[in-house]
Amino acid sequence: MKQITRTVWILSLVSLFTDTASEMLYPIMPIYLKEIGFSIVLIGILEGVAEAVAGLSKGYFGKRSDNLGKRVPFVQLGYTLSAISKPMMAVFIYPIWIFFARTLDRFGKGIRTGARDAMLSDEATNSTKGKVFGFHRSMDTLGAVLGPLLALLYLYFYPKDYKNLFYIAFIPGVLAIYATFYLKDKKEKNLVAKKKTTLFLFLKYWKTSPVEYKKVVIGLLAFTLFNSSDVFLLLKAKEVGLSDTWVIGVYIFYNFIYALTSFPLGVLADKIGLKKMFVFGLFIFAIVYFGMSLTSNSYVIALFFLLYGIYAAATEGISKAWISNLVDKKNVATAIGTFTGFQSICAMIASSLAGIIWFQFGASTTFLITGIATIVVIFYIIFGVKLKTKLF
């Protein structure tokens, strides 16, 4: 555990507190929005706009962090905006205000993502990236277990009291902000600190980025285009007859498996290679989606959520560790910000396509198409991504 430095611990705790706050609201967000008058269409537009803002801002602020040679201010501001957005959604219920508060939350994520991941990368060597990013994902996802559990516990004693949950979620958010003040930037000279950063300047990085980086990112984005929101998996669980409580239960179960396996799979990835671990994760993902297209057994669905947790642990942190190994140290935030920016946009498209296919042809077709597309991406990564590094 000596590779898990003080900075990694602090960033991991910050993510744990923030995800606890966010995931506390995840199960009740659609219910709350409907209660205050939002239609399904308006909810979809809200999430689409919020994700688009996050996508564009990730690349911009990642590039800005690299140009200024600073990480901590972006991490602090990003987590602060996300924290204060929680109670804001309960203060007023006007649609324009809800749009502003929800977008502020995603904007905060966009500001902090590149800088935070660059800090994690700086704390590791090429041979320990999997362990460091895996540990961070494990702690982050532990918040996704604690949050829904706390929400269920509160609603057990105070049924339908959704509004006060938004105020309660502010508490772990404040703890996250407090923890960021223990972070310190490394003192390094930055020769490009005075460069001007425009909104789409990070796109220029794509033209000059390493060929290996481009090959990997193309594969990751192709997968993202077919990897729709987890909401569709929960809808499938609901469709086979699980109650609302059990649907939330399997979501907690998935996050528990995700948190439990992220660190050990990160350690294993450092030994066998990040590419091999990522491909393993995609195989698990394909099994889950092919299985979801064929079964209506609630017990089998629960098994697939277990496998889905393993898939997430084998890919989420691993992909960022992989990318950080392919670029110059001074461009890590830009590289990850560019990738996650494109990823957000692709995810928005994926969920829209999945919704249309589900509506037109049903759930089985939706999952089957995703499974087939994943197999294609697996072949691309295995045979199309030849990397000149000992890890692969």
Percent helix, strand, coil in the chain (nearest 5)? 80, 0, 20
Which CATH architecture describes the domain 6-184+201-384?
Answer: Up-down Bundle (1.20)
Residue 392: per-residue pLDDT? 38
Answer yes or no: is pLDDT of 391 > 50: no
pTM equals 0.80
Q: What percent of the chain has pLDDT over 70?
A: 92
What is the per-residue pLDDT across 239-285, written as a single tens digit (0 to 9) for each? 888 777 787 788 889 989 999 999 999 999 999 999 999 999 999 99
Domain ranges of the chain: 6-184+201-384
Q: What is the 3-state secondary structure (H, E, C) of 317-368?
A: HHHHHHHHCCCCHHHHHHHHHHHHHHHHHHHHHHHHHHHHHHHHHCHHHHHH
Return the amino acid letter for 311.
Y
Average pLDDT over all residues of the chain: 86
| Band of residue 390 on the pLDDT scale cut at 50, 70, 90 | very low
User: At 166, is the secondary structure helix, strand, or coil?
Assistant: helix
For range 357-381, the mean pLDDT: 91
Cα–Cα distance for residue pair 21/54, rounded to 1 Å: 18
Residue 308's closest CA among 292, 280, 284, 278? 284
